Amino acid sequence: MKKFSILIAGGGSTFTPGIILMLLDNLDKFPIRQIKMYDNDTERQAKIGDACAILLKERAPEIEFSYSTKPEEAFTDIDFVMAHIRVGKYPMRELDEKIPLKHGVVGQETCGPGGVAYGMRSIGGVIELIDYMEKYSPNAWMLNYSNPAAIVAEATRRLKPNSKVLNICDMPIGIEVRMAEILGLDSRKDMDIMYYGLNHFGWWKSIKDKAGNDLMPILKEHVAKHGYVEKKGDSQHTDASWCDTFAKAKDVFAIDPTTLPNTYLKYYLFPDYVVEHSNKEYTRANEVMDGREKFVFGECDKIVKNKTSNNTELHIDEHASYIVDLARAIAFNTKEKMLLIVENNGAIVNFDPTAMVEIPCIVGNAGPEPLVIGAIPQFQKGLMEQQVSVEKLTVEAWIEGSYQKLWQALTMSKTVPSASIAKAILDDLIEANKGYWPELK
């Protein structure tokens, strides 16, 4: 079996050790000869890289390992780039969340004004990674997790239409794991699903077991009472904000009981509730900096200090399993059905063919083949038309350097109550993002 060479771009990410552990756990299904890491923050990269070097030497010494901040060194001789960069890192996420909240508007990493601000920073960073990949390893594929995935995907559609880039999100997977637990199934893969929407903005329209039996009624009964809260919790999602998000799905479901919702819809359908329940001084970015970031970097420091990864508490990330499945689908033409963010192109028949939608695709070595969804109901269509316009206007604003279009994007967001509030938020975001955004005229 061929052995692959992987580059993790955004190697200093808190998710990198979890991805490495997942890759090691799957070597029988996805053999690897080389792992490299790339980041533009030398110190952050070295902390994660030095720990992963020890871990790999102990657990898979046959795999060549290196990390670098030099694009040519990092991107040469690569089959798959697994990308998860955060341009501006957590301090900028904190501002994305706190600036809108100051104006009484939802402050969230990927939704509303925070998502638009993050998108304006991410586009350039992700396009730069694609350029490096195409220059130094022109046959490679990029599996891109970098957020906000909806805006990044639209930017890749506009600016890199022929590139081998697949934009992905693991929120539906995380929810499907919960659904499987609610149903008492061993694995989410025991379910056959149909899902449609935009990234962080979608609905399950059908969930069956492998024999074709409808599982929606049992799930709906549970979600109507408890949202996506199930008995068994996981460590990341015991944080207060995540618990609230999974519980709030109950109210989101009530609006359209014919489908099951993505948790992120709470930010668009209950923005007043979200603002009321937000702490303007301590947002999710603070929770992550005090929690996951301290934990991951603390564990990496311990590995380096002890010169061994024995007894480390670093663990496999659930979200990493999806990226391995996707790489396998391309490498071995597995034709697995996977949710990807792809150009609509008629899959949702009554929706903009140029929209980047999140829908099931059959993935093989030629890339994704989107499945036909058919027509979607008026409620979803209306919401999606408004939200996709926010995403498209943001990308146009980035390409054209247009203040006007970014103001329109923020005004269009369902989370923002008026054009004047949109303008006030925009002016604060411009100030905070100097050096990250293109200059707007």
Ligand X SMILES: NC(=O)c1ccc[n+]([C@@H]2O[C@H](COP(=O)([O-])OP(=O)(O)OC[C@H]3O[C@@H](n4cnc5c(N)ncnc54)[C@H](O)[C@@H]3O)[C@@H](O)[C@H]2O)c1
Q: Name the residues that contact ligand X, by CB under 6 A.
A: 9-10, 12-15, 39-41, 44, 84-87, 89-90, 125, 145-147, 149, 169-171, 319
The closest of 300, 304, 331 to 313, measured between CA atoms, is: 300
Pick the closest to residue 43 from 292, 285, 301 (CA basis).
301
CB of residue 145 to Mn ion, shortest distance in Å = 8
Count of residues that bind ligand LEZUNG72 according to CB under 6 A: 14
Burial of 55-92, coded b for 16+ CB within 10 Å and e otherwise, reads bbeeeeeebebebbbebeebbbebbbbbbbbbbbbbeb
Give the DSSP letter of residue 190. G
171 binds Mn ion (CB under 5 A): yes
* 170 is a catalytic site residue: yes
Compute the least distance from the CB of residue 314 to Mn ion, in Å: 22
Q: Which of 36, 44, 205, 319 binds ligand LEZUNG72 (CB under 6 A)?
A: 319
Please pick, from the candidates 169, 207, 347, 440, the single residue that binds ligand LEZUNG72 as defined by CB under 6 A: 169
Question: How many residues at the interface with Mn ion, by CB under 5 A?
Answer: 2
Binding ligand LEZUNG72 by CB under 6 A: which of 40, 163, 206, 236?
Answer: 236
Q: Which candidate in 132, 145, 195, 264 is catalytic?
A: 264
3-class secondary structure, 138: coil
Which one of Mn ion, ligand X, ligand LEZUNG72, none is in contact with 284 (Cβ closer than 5 to 8 A by kind)?
ligand LEZUNG72
In the chain, the N- to C-terminal Cα span, in Å, equals 54
Burial 263-273 (b: 16+ CB within 10 A, else e): bbbbbbbbbee
Within residues 174-233, the interface with ligand LEZUNG72 by CB under 6 A covers 174
Nearest Cα residue to 327 out of 189, 200, 196, 140: 140
User: What stretch of H or E contains 369?
Assistant: strand 367-370
Q: Which stretch binds Mn ion (CB under 5 A): 65-73, 136-144, 168-176, 377-385?
A: 168-176
Nearest to ligand X of 340, 422 (CB atom): 340
Q: Does 147 help bind ligand LEZUNG72 (rule: CB under 6 A)?
A: yes
> Cβ neighbours of residue 104 under 8 Å, at least 6 residues apart?
275, 421
Dist CA 422 CA 416 (whole Å): 6
In the DSSP assignment, the letter for residue 76 is S
Catalytic residue among 79, 96, 170, 428: 170
Q: How far is the CB of 209 from ligand X (least distance, A)?
A: 26
Q: Of the two residues 134 and 154, which places its CB atom closer to ligand LEZUNG72 in the complex?
A: 154
169 contacts Mn ion (rule: CB under 5 A)? yes
Cα of 45 vs its chain's centroid, Å: 21
Residue 326 binding: pick among Mn ion, ligand X, ligand LEZUNG72, none (C-beta 5-8 Å cut-off by kind) = none
Which parts of this chain interact with Mn ion (CB under 5 A)? Answer: 169, 171
Supply the residues annotated as catalytic.
Answer: 170, 264
